[in-house]
Structure 1
Amino acid sequence: MASTFDLSKILKTNPVLTLRQQVSYTVKLSIPGIIAQISSIIMQYIDASMAGRLGPDASAAIGLTASSTWVLGSLSNALCLGFTVQVSHATGAGNKEDAKKTFFNSILTCLAFSFLLAAVSAAISYRLPFWLGSSSAINTDASWYFLIFGLSTPLFITVYLMSGMLQCSGNMKLPAIMNALMCFMDIAFNWLFIFKLKLGVKGAALGTAASAFVTAAGLFYYTVFKNEYLKLNNRKVMIIKLSVIKKAVRIALPVGLESTAFTGALVIVARMIAPLGSTALAANSFATTAEALCYMPGYGVQESAITLVGQSTGAKREDLTKSFSVITLLLGVSLMSLAAVVMWFACPLVFSFLTPDKAIQELSIKVLRIELFCEPFYAAAIVSSGALRGKGDTFIPGLMALFSLWVVRLGLSALLITDYELTGIWIAMTAELCFRGIILMLRLFCFKKKEGDDQ
């Protein structure tokens, strides 16, 4: 259905790649990834906008649990990455059998992990809003939203894993198409559950889960039965390999800690914001959702960085590893800077779409415009992290992100929230993202990962 980018095959037929060819491959792989990432954030816009029509309490309920649902997504993505990096290296080396063996083990491991996360989510869903310091007006809706989202974790991890496997083997088109379709399905299912069946906030979660189910089924079928590099059509590749699982955990653990630190910091920030009231909670949620439209292009480029740097590493081409790191970094910074400029002028219209509440609109515009100044540095952090992951270098970058989030962001947030309330939180975020971008770029270009070091 969609072509696969096989760097090892390209190098065999044309071992010298010109700068123009490298830029062309980068753009070719980035565009579908960007489309997929933007479609993902559009789903958040859809949920936020539809639920926002129910009033500020509904928006606040979703906003309160957003950081907690991100924890689930971050942990799922981290484990998937531990396997997709290995498949990327195997693809770069031209070893289809190893790619398929890794893929089979990834399915078993990731699904088992997702059911564990679903069980934990169900166990804590009732108490979570109380732990986050919410008001009694939104507790029930917040609990239901998190419960439904948590029980859907096996669906989301299937989407993440199948999309990641296709992308790292070079097929960026199908995941982009399926994620775009998921947006349209989300609109339809949300309309059905929120308004037609009058399920409110619960309906927003059910709509997202239903669209994820259809997407997961389609991606699973194509990847397992149709994809040239990954289809499991031979019993010889369907064996459990503990060495593959252990390596995946070694790669994923630092990324999981980094992602959990990020989302954990957001949980703490949500706890700080909760006493400020529903307007501040809703404004923070809407501003975060709107800002995601700026950084999602960066995550699309990050996916191409993982693929290009990962396959170059597998092909043992250090020259391409360096050049693809630079090219993807420049592309990511350019796209996110442009997105920030557009969002500066467009955010009043965006927030009027997300909520009819004027107070929430004004506060959302104020805090978002503060953060938009750091988008070039945020892009540097995102793409540098992807290039480092493509090389399998995750441990030290993970520690750097831990320090940045928990010391710089949370420390500044605690200092500034008393005098500046929600504005102080976003000033702290801006400073931290600039700091993180600088230190990860230094890691990418000033330190060389030793051969055979998986950490």
Structure 2
Amino acid sequence: MFSSKKSDTLLAKIRNGAQLTGREKLELIVELSIPSMLAQITTVMMFFIDAAMVGHLGAAASASIGLVETTTWLMGSILSAVSLGFSVQVAHFIGANDFTRARQVFRHALVCGVAFSVLMALVGASIHQSLPYWLGGKDDIAPMSSGYFLIFSLTLPAVLLFHLMSAMLKSAGEMRVPSLLSIMMCGLDVAFNYLFIYVLKLGVVGAALGTMSAYFFTVIPMAWQAICKNKIIALRLDRTPFVWMGSYVRNAVKISFPVAVQNILMGSAQVVSTLIVAPLGNVAIAANSFAITAESLCYMPGYGVGDAATTLVGQTYGAGRSDLCKNFAHLTIGVGMLVMAFMGVVMFVFAPEMIGFLSPVEEIRLLGAMVLRIEAFAEPFFAAAIVSYAVCVASGDTLKPAAMSLFSMWCVRLTLAYVLAQSYGLRGVWVAMATELTFRGTIFLLRIRRGSWLKGIKAKA
């Protein structure tokens, strides 16, 4: 349906300074977005199926994963930020037709990324027994949470390689391979989960082992495609010896550090949100966890468009094409908002069925569906925040956008959530979430309109 040769030709036109028609721009956005959307949705489906399989084990099993879920997302997002610091540089060098330096950055990313992920795995393993109690868990679910988190921590090197290889391929304009491998990972996850949860009867620990196995079996072909096969970034294409360049690492830190700090503080805010929800009981914990999982199925298309924005803005920025860079930013944001407005309607209409798929417990289903419908109204602005942030990161503008996201999360969402939870329970927490996402999307739209994220490209032009 979608032509790899066609998107490669259009990306080459960007690098070579050729003009693109309006139709070609939209075609390129669609060509790059659709595979990434499918990959994002498939990845969420993996967690969706995980949650459904565990959900049928009862509320305590569901709550045990929900308790540490925000922490696992936090750790994964930090590894994603590490990958981002290098992949943005790769996109800029590719846009400038300097493929040799793009591959040199890739080599540095492998060394630094693997070392950092091993360190994180050791930290996670050292705190796995205490973490559930720090998060407010009780003795009925803490041991299950602890076992799940330990296995996840040991999976982190594979998670890093998955993020890194996927980001590098996307920076080179290759969306199809990461998408197909993400779909494969989802299928493997279902198969391994069934084996470990039901056949071997390992319960919550089985869910973690299933996810670990899926990551390890997927990252091998993903690494092979990036390191050996891709026609731009494959390391075998280098004819010059590898030389360590501290500037690549410094630039990666400059890009990644604000993103990582944001992810840490945003993840910490999610943990605080879990602490706000925890006193409301196991039903509220499980409903909150399932609603987050179900909602992620609806906002992942926004991240798919964001991936396309990262590639297009990153390469046009590297090519020094200011007007085209701005044009792609506006177009991708508009497409993202339209797609997620549609997904918001789907989420509102099918909220009971989405939560019912995850849990047979009627009380959890009713509460989860109620909060999902509250969130549905904020989805277009959530898309604006997602894609606008991707645009800023692709241009290397990470500090102020990170500060904006943190202010929105900590000063708007958590403050409102704490106040409203006292009177309205979990509904109040999700009203706060919807309000904050609308606020965040609005301030990001204002930043894109003002154009300050493009200051660096003007110096090159």
TM-score, with structure 2 as normaliser: 0.96
- Please list, as runs of the form range in 1=range in 2, the aligned pairs for 1:237-386 lying within 5 A after superposition: 238-386=242-390
Alignment-mate amino acid for residue 113 of structure 2: C
Q: Equivalent residue for 1:48?
A: 51
Distance 2:159 2:14 in 1: 35
Q: CA deviation at 1:129?
A: 0.6
Q: Which residue of 2 aligns with 1:138?
A: 141
Query: Residues 2 and 394 of structure 1: is their aligned pair in 2 closer, same or farther, counting only changes over 3 Å?
Result: same
Provide, for residues 208-234 of structure 1, a one-character-per-residue CA deviation record: whole Å limited to 9, x for no partner: 010000111110111111111111113
- 1:442-453 alignment to 2 at 5 Å? 442-449=446-453, 450-451=455-456
Percent identity between the aligned chains? 44
- In structure 1, the residue matched to 2:184 is 181
Shift of residue 248 of structure 1?
Answer: 0.4
Match of 2:38 in 1: 35
Corresponding residue for 2:12?
9
User: What are the Cα deviations for residues 152-182 of structure 1, in whole angstroms up to 9, with x where unaligned?
Assistant: 0001111100001001100000000000011
Amino acid at match of 1:144: G
Corresponding residue for residue 60 of structure 2: 57
**SS state at 2:140 partner:** helix
Partners of 1:190 and 1:287 lie apart in 2 by: 21
Taking structure 1 as reference, are residues 13 and 86 closer, same or farther at Cα in structure 2, changes over 3 Å only? Answer: closer
- DSSP 3-state at the match of 1:5: helix
Aligned to 1:197: 200
Say whether the 8 Å CA contact 1:6–1:169 is kept in structure 2. no
Deviations 1:362-400 (A, max 9, x none): 000011100110001000000000111111111100111
Q: Deviations over 1:21-75 (max 9, x none)?
A: 1111001000011011001100111110001111111100111111000111110
How far is 1:286 from its partner?
A: 0.4
Q: Which amino acid aligns with 1:339?
A: M
Instruction: Output the CA distance in 2 between the equivalents of 1:369 and 1:441.
Output: 24
Aligned amino acid, residue 40 of structure 1: T
Contact 1:380 1:438 in 2 (8 A): yes
- Residues 72 and 152 in structure 2, CA contact (< 8 A), matched pair in contact too: yes
Instruction: Tell me: CA distance 1:410–1:39, structure 2 relative to 1, closer, same or farther (3 Å).
Output: same
TM-score normalised per structure 1 = 0.97
Counterpart of 1:75 in structure 2: which amino acid? Answer: I
Give the Cα–Cα distance (whole angstroms) in 1 for the partners of residues 43 and 393 of structure 2.
22
State the Cα distance separating 1:240 from its structure 2 match: 2.2
Distance 2:63 2:239 in 1: 50
Offset of residue 453 of structure 1: 10
Q: 1:452: how far off?
A: 7.2
Matched residues in 1 for 2:457 and 2:26: separation? 29
Post-superposition shift, 1:12?
6.4
The reply on whether 1:107 has 2:110 as its aligned counterpart is yes
1:136 CA displacement: 1.1
CA separation of 1:83/1:14 partners in 2, compared to 1, >3 Å: closer, same or farther? closer
What does 1:143-158 correspond to in 2, within 5 Å? 143-158=146-161
User: 1:261-280: per-residue Cα shift (whole Å, max 9, x none)?
Assistant: 22111101111111111100
* Equivalent residue, structure 1, for 2:212: 209
User: In structure 2, what is the Cα distance between the partners aligned to 1:292 and 1:435?
Assistant: 19
Tell me the SS of whatever aligns to 2:342: helix
1:8 CA displacement: 5.9
Which deviates further from its counterpart, 8-17 or 212-221? Answer: 8-17
Q: Contact 2:317 / 2:457 at 8 angstroms: preserved in 1? A: no
For residue 230 of structure 2, the aligned residue among 223, 227, 239 is 227
- Contact kept? 1:8, 1:94, Cα under 8 Å: no
* 1:118 counterpart residue number: 121
In the aligned structure 2, how far is the partner of 1:235 from the partner of 1:313?
Answer: 27
Inter-CA distance 427–164: structure 2 relative to 1 (3 Å threshold): same
Q: CA deviation at 1:5?
A: 3.3
Q: Equivalent residue for 2:74?
A: 71
Residues of 1 paired with 2:100 and 2:178: CA distance?
Answer: 23
**What value does the CA root-mean-square deviation take over the aligned residues?**
1.6
User: Is there any run of 5+ residues in structure 2 with no aligned partner, and where?
Assistant: none
Contact 2:14 2:315 in 1 (8 A): no
Q: What secondary structure sits across from 2:452 in the alignment?
A: coil
Please report how far the alpha carbon of residue 11 of structure 1 lies from its aligned counterpart in structure 2 after TM superposition: 3.7
**What secondary structure does 1:451 align onto?**
helix
CA contact (8 A) 2:15 2:315 kept: no
Larger mean Cα displacement after TM superposition, 268-277 or 292-301? 268-277
Aligned AA (1:229)? I
User: Does the CA contact (< 8 Å) of 2:15 and 2:95 recur in 1?
Assistant: no
Change (3 A) 1:325 1:95: same
Distance of 1:195 and 1:71 partners within structure 2: 28
1:14–1:348 CA distance, 2 compared to 1 (3 A): same
Shift, 1:448, TM fit: 2.1
Q: Where do residues 371-450 of structure 1 align in structure 2 (5 Å cutoff)?
A: 371-449=375-453, 450=455
Distance in 2 between the 1:111 and 1:12 partners? Answer: 31
CA drift of 1:123 comes to 0.9
2:366 counterpart letter in structure 1? E
Runs of 5+ unmatched residues, structure 1:
none
**Hey, what's the Cα distance between the residues in 2 that align with 1:118 and 1:8?**
37
Offset, 1:150: 1.1
